Structure 1
Amino acid sequence: MTNRRTNLPEGTQDDRQVVESLAKGLTLLRCFQHEDTFLGNQELSKRSGIPKATVSRLTFTLAKFGYLIYAEDLGQYKLGPSVLALGYACLSGMKVREIAQPYMQDLADHAGSGVLVALGVRDGTSMLYVSCARSSGMVSLLLGVGSRVSLTDTAMGRAYLASLPPDERVSVMEEIRAETDPSNWDHVEGVIADAVTQIGERGFYANLGDWQPDVHAVSVPFRSPNLGDPVFAFNCGGPAYLLSKERLENELGPRLVEMARNVRFSAGM
């Protein structure tokens, strides 16, 4: 959530250690979503809440340092190679990705065509895919590394929230609440409470069409043994007609729990 007065993340507006211009520049970079190619200053201003005149100065500066590329014929910007370099540096530091990939691929092959197995981390009020595995054959969900999915609507997001200590979960839920329609808040609290129960009772959470009516998925939270790593979540999902409730709960859910256990063992935890 951003603060309307300063456009800084909530809780930082009174922190004298925060460099406001840097925070605003980073906010602009975060405005680019997976489906975006080019964005103009007006759209960036709308998404960020930062005045257009300030946005113009920031985008000019970011382009000078390679974080944005300016297309003169469009008068718009896209992310530049310097952002990609940071992204790959971040991914290379997540050693769990390398350890988990063969296990994820084995599960994807077992689950069959149309199923996607993913590893994600929280980014704001979304979950960000950092690794994916698919079986050969029919095209699975059109998601990949860098895709964002809802923190409150998806199996991955709910499993992540369910894994947090109660005080930390309350803090994250307050961020979510600021972006949620008040009329829907009781539902959000209810599904997260259900996720906590499911994770506690069987180690995985099953989402049967809450994110998209024709998509079913199971998810398991994962805490990496590597110092400094975030909390992750593994997810296995696909078309509902391929993943029945019975198959998810009796087969793929337990297999995902076992996979997470094997990854943890291989990582030395």
Structure 2
Amino acid sequence: MSIVKSTESASRRDGGVTALARGLAILQCFDRPGAQFTVSELARLVGLSQPTTWRLCSTLIDKGFLVKVPGSSALRVGAPALTLGYAAAQGQDLRALVRPYMEQLTTRVGTTVALSLYSGNEMLSIDQTMGSFVVPGQPVGWRASPASSSAGLAVLAVLPDEDRARALQAIAERDPASWPRRQERIERAAAHFAQHGYIVLTDMFDGQYAAASVPLVEGGTVPRYWGLSCSGLSTTWTVNALRPVGEELVRIRTLLQPAAAVIGALG
């Protein structure tokens, strides 16, 4: 009998964690200004049945985190959710926002994770979390062409067309002899990003190092473009080995990008 009670207790605990995760997944659907969804639409987005989604939404409505749109069957985020989001973003900068996720990734994969900012047609290293392996010669403050760093290639993949054209022109003019090779690398990275949501670079420093990266776009009057990357020896970090790292970077980007998009406007 004690075993049955223990199992039932564990089931309730697991059920509570599952319900919380599902409720948070519903709230994450409202990740853009003015977003509103019906329960049916939310059920499709989170992959749950409509009755289950309605029960979760009912709880969120009861707690004020969702509210009904007047004259509609749709829902939108309520004041408590907005208050939490504003409190989290107010006074933060993107570096502080990203840092805990960098530390978590370093703990998981054991190598250095770097955050870089696109500035003056270069990638400027802003922050690092040090793992068991560090790519030499790339400390905080290090600058590199966006065509020669994984973070830069990730940024180039999401720059607006006009900004991207100017960046490519600057890269070509800086070293015309290397431009055909760099152009091919940029195009290959953009295609990989379009398909997988992250980029890989396997020929850093004459093929010694490899990396996976994702871009982050900081909002505001003038958007700023960042690259989050994880790198290591190419003998260990093959394209296949980097796949789970890239997928983890995509997961982190999915979590951070909505906040990054508004953090500059609130600063």
TM-score using structure 1 length: 0.58
Distance in 1 (alpha carbons) for counterparts of 2:183 and 2:141: 27
Match in the other structure for 2:247: 254
Match in the other structure for 1:151: 146
Match in the other structure for 1:103: 101
State whether structure 2 residue 114 is matched by structure 1 residue 121.
Answer: no
Between stretches 233-242 and 100-109, larger displacement belongs to 233-242
Match in the other structure for 1:133: 129
Give the AA of the match of 2:178.
N
SS of residue in 1 equivalent to 2:212 = strand
Q: Deviations over 1:50-72 (max 9, x none)?
A: xxxxxxxxxxxxxxxxxxxxxxx
Give the AA of the match of 1:184.
S
Q: 1:192 aligns with which of 186, 199, 206?
A: 186
In the superposition, relative to structure 1, how do residues 158 and 169 fare at CA in structure 2: closer, same or farther (>3 Å)? same
Q: Deviations over 1:159-195 (max 9, x none)?
A: 1111112222111111112111x33222121111112
SS of residue in 1 equivalent to 2:232 = strand
Give the AA of the match of 2:140.
V
Distance in 1 (alpha carbons) for counterparts of 2:160 and 2:212: 21
1:42-81 residue pairs with structure 2 within 5 A? Answer: none
Distance in 1 (alpha carbons) for counterparts of 2:222 and 2:161: 20
* Identity %, equivalent residues: 24
Give the AA of the match of 1:231.
Y
Between stretches 229-238 and 207-216, larger displacement belongs to 207-216
Distance in 1 (alpha carbons) for counterparts of 2:188 and 2:232: 21
Distance in 1 (alpha carbons) for counterparts of 2:129 and 2:166: 32
Match in the other structure for 1:46: none
Unmatched runs of 5 consecutive residues or more in structure 2: 1-90, 263-267
Match in the other structure for 2:163: 168
Distance in 1 (alpha carbons) for counterparts of 2:133 and 2:200: 22
Distance in 1 (alpha carbons) for counterparts of 2:133 and 2:185: 29
Match in the other structure for 2:239: 245
Tell me if the contact between 1:154 and 1:211 (Cα under 8 Å) persists in the aligned partners: no
Give the AA of the match of 1:174.
Q
Distance in 2 (alpha carbons) for counterparts of 1:268 and 1:177: 30
In the superposition, relative to structure 1, how do residues 246 and 125 fare at CA in structure 2: closer, same or farther (>3 Å)? same
Tell me if the contact between 1:117 and 1:234 (Cα under 8 Å) persists in the aligned partners: yes
Deviation at 1:231, TM superposition (A): 0.8
Deviation at 1:205, TM superposition (A): 0.5
Tell me if the contact between 1:204 and 1:253 (Cα under 8 Å) persists in the aligned partners: yes
Distance in 2 (alpha carbons) for counterparts of 1:164 and 1:101: 23
Deviation at 1:225, TM superposition (A): 3.6
Tell me if the contact between 1:225 and 1:267 (Cα under 8 Å) persists in the aligned partners: yes
Give the AA of the match of 1:188.
R
Deviation at 1:234, TM superposition (A): 0.7
Deviation at 1:94, TM superposition (A): 7.2
Distance in 1 (alpha carbons) for counterparts of 2:160 and 2:109: 31
In the superposition, relative to structure 1, how do residues 165 and 214 fare at CA in structure 2: closer, same or farther (>3 Å)? same
Match in the other structure for 1:224: 218
- Aligned residue pairs total 171
Q: Deviations over 1:105-162 (max 9, x none)?
A: 10011111xx211111123342101111123xx3512333211123111211111111
* Higher-helix-fraction structure: 2
Deviation at 1:201, TM superposition (A): 0.9
Deviation at 1:228, TM superposition (A): 3.9
TM-score using structure 2 length: 0.59
